[in-house]
Amino acid sequence: MKRTNNYEVTSLDMQKQQEMIEAMRSMNEGAKEVKKYIIVTYGCQMNEHDSEKIAGMLQNMGYHETTDKKDADLIIYNTCCVRENAELKVYGNLGSLKNLKKKKEDMIIAVCGCMMQQPQVVEEIKKKYRHVDLVFGTHNLHKFPELLVNAKHSDNMLVEVWENEGEIIEGVPVIRKYELKTFVNIMFGCNNFCTYCIVPYTRGRERSREVQDIINEVKDLAENGTKEITLLGQNVNSYGKTLEEGITFAGLLRKLNEIEGIERIRFMTSHPKDLSEELIDVMAECKKVSPHMHLPFQAGSNKVLKAMNRSYTKESYLALVDNLKRKVPDVAITSDIIVGFPGETEADFQDTMEIVERVRFDSVFTFIYSKRQGTPAAEMKDHISDEVVHDRFNRLVRKINEICAEINRSYLNKEVEVLVEGPSKTDNERLMGRTGQSKLVNFDGDFSLIGKLVKIKITDPKTFSLNGEVVEE
C-alpha cells in the first residue's frame, strides 16, 4: 500500500507546537535569569540531527545553550540502544545526576530517543531513576514543547512514548551545529529487520519525505551558506518507495545536484541489497555527489548473512563493489562489520577477513555483536565467548588499519580538493577539511579559506588522516 504524508495532521500538530513554544517563550522572557539547557546526544547522525531539532525548539522557547551541567535548568539525554554499551553509558550518566538534582530541585531532567522506545527501559527509569522529570520517544519529538510545559507543571515523572510512528512532521525548527555542512533527513524508519538490530523497533516503519519538502529545505540551506549536505536514512537506497510520485533515490540526487550553492552531497546509509545501477551511474555523472559509498556488509560468510537476514551474499557484495569501482574509479568505500554474531565460526570469520582484503576499505566501523532484547538474534543459539570474539576483533582491526595506512600512503604528493571546515582538531592554528572521499586533511592556511574548496598537495599521510599544503594557483 502506498502512503502519502498527511498535511492536515501536520499543520494541526505544528499549530499546537507553535502555541506551546510561544507560551514557554513568554514565561522565559519574564524570568529573572536566562534559562539554560544541555543536550547530551548518543548514537548515530539520525539522533544528532534530532538533537538539532530539540535545540531549535528550545531556542525558540527562549532557552540558551550551556556546557556546564551545574548551570543548566534543563538537561536532556537523547539516547541510543543499538548496542548494550550505549545503554550502560546512559544509565551511568543519569545516575550521576541524582545529586545535582537534589541541590537544584527545579532543574528538569528529560530522556528521549531510541532507548525510550523499549518498554523495559521505561520501566527501569520509572523504578530506579525517579529524579527524571520527562520521558519521550522518537515518534513524538515534535510534541516536545508541550511535554516540557506539562513536565514543568507536574510533580510526577511525565512519560509519553508513542508505540507507532505517525505521519512525517515537517517544519520543526532546527539549530544546526555547523552551517557549512549539515544533515538533511530524507526518510525515517527501517523495514529491513536485520536479525541483530533494534532500529526497526525504535524508529518504526520506513517512510520517505516528499521530494519538494527536501528540495525546499536544501535550497534554504544553500541560501544560508551551507556547502555540503549529508542525506540521512537507515536505508537511503529505498527512498521513494512510500511516495506516490514514483521517484528513486538516484532521481532525488539528480534533482539535488541542480541546487545552486551546494557543492557536495553525501548520503548514508546504503544497504547493499538495494544499491541500484542507476545510483552508481548518478555517482559517476553528478559532479556534486561525493565519490564516497558507505556500504555496510556486516559479515562475509553467506551462512551468517542469511542468519542476519541481509538478503545478499559475499559474491554479490564483491560484484557490487567491482562494478562501483569500475564506474567510479576514485570512489572511497567504507563499511560496518559485526564480529561474533551467534554461530560465527573461525571459517565464517575468515570470509569477513577475505572481503576486507579484497575490497580494501578506506575505513570501517567495527562492532562486537551485542545481544538486543526483542530481536530474533537474541534467541539464537551458539553465542560466542568474549575471548574468541575479542581475538577476532583485534585481528580484524589490525588488518583494516594496515590497509587504511597503505591507502593513505598512496596519496603522497597527490593533489586533492578539500572543503575547508575550520580549525584543525589537533592544532587550532592549522586548518582541516575533507576530500570528496571523506579523507580528513590538516594543513596550514589562512582562515579566510574556511567554507571554500581548496587544492591541497599531500605531504605527510598518516593512518587516519593526511597532512598537506595549499597548492598556490
* Binding positions for ligand SAH, 218-277, rule CB under 6 A: 234-235, 269, 271
- Listed residue (255, 182, 188, 249) closest to 222, CA to CA: 182
Please report whether residue 294 would count as binding ligand SF4 according to CB under 6 A.
Answer: no
- Listed residue (322, 206, 328) closest to 269, CA to CA: 206
Contact 115, 129 (CB under 8 A): no
Please report whether residue 202 would count as binding ligand F3S according to CB under 6 A.
Answer: yes
Kindly report the backbone phi and psi dihedral angles of residue 330, in degrees, each rounded to the nearest multiple of 5, phi listed first. Answer: -95, 15
Residue 37 interacts with which of ligand SAH, ligand F3S, ligand SF4, none, CB < 5 to 8 Å by class: none
Identify which range of 1-9, 78-86, 124-132, 333-341 contacts ligand F3S by CB under 6 A: 78-86
Please report whether residue 192 would count as binding ligand SF4 according to CB under 6 A.
Answer: yes
Identify which range of 101-109, 198-206, 237-245, 278-286 contacts ligand F3S by CB under 6 A: 198-206
Instruction: Give least dist CB 79 to ligand F3S, A.
Output: 7
Collapsing DSSP to helix, strand or coil, 414 comes out as: coil
Q: Would you list the DSSP string of 197-246?
A: --HHHHH-S-EEPPHHHHHHHHHHHHHTT--EEEEE-TTGGGTTTTSTT-
Residue with smaller CB distance to ligand SF4, 343 or 422: 343
Which of 24, 80, 172, 289 binds ligand F3S (CB under 6 A)? It is: 80
- Listed residue (426, 283, 370, 278) closest to 84, CA to CA: 370
Please report whether residue 235 would count as binding ligand SF4 according to CB under 6 A.
Answer: yes
The amino acid present at 88, given as its one-letter code, is L
Q: Give the nearest residue (CB) to ligand F3S.
A: 43
Site residue total, ligand SF4 (CB under 6 A): 10
Task: Please tell me the distance from the alpha carbon of residue 132 to that of residue 126, in angstroms, as a whole number.
Answer: 8
The amino acid present at 63, given as its one-letter code, is Y
Residue 200 interacts with which of ligand SF4, ligand F3S, ligand SAH, none, CB < 5 to 8 Å by class: ligand SF4
Q: Which residues contact 278 (CB under 8 A, 6 or more apart)?
A: 248, 250, 251
What is the Cβ-side half-sphere exposure of residue 451, based on CA atoms within 13 angstroms?
Answer: 10
Contact 123, 130 (CB under 8 A): no
Which of 37, 239, 367, 443 binds ligand SAH (CB under 6 A)? It is: 367
Please report whether residue 55 would count as binding ligand SF4 according to CB under 6 A.
Answer: no
Identify which range of 115-123, 129-137, 190-198, 316-324 contacts ligand SF4 by CB under 6 A: 190-198
Identify which range of 31-39, 158-166, 197-205, 314-322 contacts ligand SF4 by CB under 6 A: 197-205
- Listed residue (205, 222, 196) closest to 305, CA to CA: 196
Task: Please tell me the distance from the alpha carbon of residue 360 to that of residue 332, in angstroms, as a whole number.
Answer: 9
Please report whether residue 335 would count as binding ligand SF4 according to CB under 6 A.
Answer: no
Residue 193 interacts with which of ligand SF4, ligand SAH, ligand F3S, none, CB < 5 to 8 Å by class: ligand SF4
Please report whether residue 114 would count as binding ligand F3S according to CB under 6 A.
Answer: yes
Task: Please tell me the distance from the alpha carbon of residue 193 to that of residue 203, in angstroms, as a whole number.
Answer: 11
Please report whether residue 80 would count as binding ligand SAH according to CB under 6 A.
Answer: no
Please report whether residue 328 would count as binding ligand F3S according to CB under 6 A.
Answer: no
What cell numbers appear for 241 in the block? 518507495
Please report whether residue 199 would count as binding ligand F3S according to CB under 6 A.
Answer: yes
Instruction: Give least dist CB 442 to ligand F3S, A.
Output: 28
Please report whether residue 376 would count as binding ligand SF4 according to CB under 6 A.
Answer: no
- Listed residue (463, 397, 438) closest to 291, CA to CA: 438
Please report whether residue 199 would count as binding ligand SAH according to CB under 6 A.
Answer: yes
What cell numbers appear for 289 in the block? 555527489
Task: Please tell me the distance from the alpha carbon of residue 387 to that of residue 136, in angstroms, as a whole number.
Answer: 38
* Binding positions for ligand F3S, 25-54, rule CB under 6 A: 43-44, 46-47
Instruction: Show contacts of 377-384: CB within 8 Å, 24+ apart.
Output: 377/195, 377/196, 377/307, 377/308, 377/341, 377/342, 380/195, 380/307, 380/342, 380/343, 381/342, 381/343, 382/342, 382/343, 383/342, 384/340, 384/341, 384/342, 384/344
Decide the pairing of beta strands 181-185 and 134-136: unpaired
Please report whether residue 82 would count as binding ligand F3S according to CB under 6 A.
Answer: yes
Task: Please tell me the distance from the alpha carbon of residue 341 to that of residue 196, in angstroms, as a whole number.
Answer: 8
Contact string (CB under 6 A) for ligand SAH, positions 83-102, x = contact: x-------------------
Residue with smaller CB distance to ligand F3S, 81 or 168: 81
Helix (H) / strand (E) element for 154: namely none
Query: How large is the C-alpha radius of gyration of the chain?
Result: 23
Residue with smaller CB distance to ligand F3S, 54 or 107: 54
Residue 83 interacts with which of ligand F3S, ligand SAH, ligand SF4, none, CB < 5 to 8 Å by class: ligand SAH
Residue 202 interacts with which of ligand SAH, ligand F3S, ligand SF4, none, CB < 5 to 8 Å by class: ligand F3S
Q: Using CB under 6 A, list all residues that contact ligand SAH.
A: 82-83, 196-197, 199, 234-235, 269, 271, 296, 298, 336, 338, 367, 369-370, 372
Q: Could you list the residues that contact ligand F3S (CB under 6 A)?
A: 43-44, 46-47, 80-82, 114, 198-199, 202-203
User: Can you give the binding site for ligand SF4, defined by CB under 6 A?
Assistant: 190, 192-194, 197, 199-200, 234-235, 271
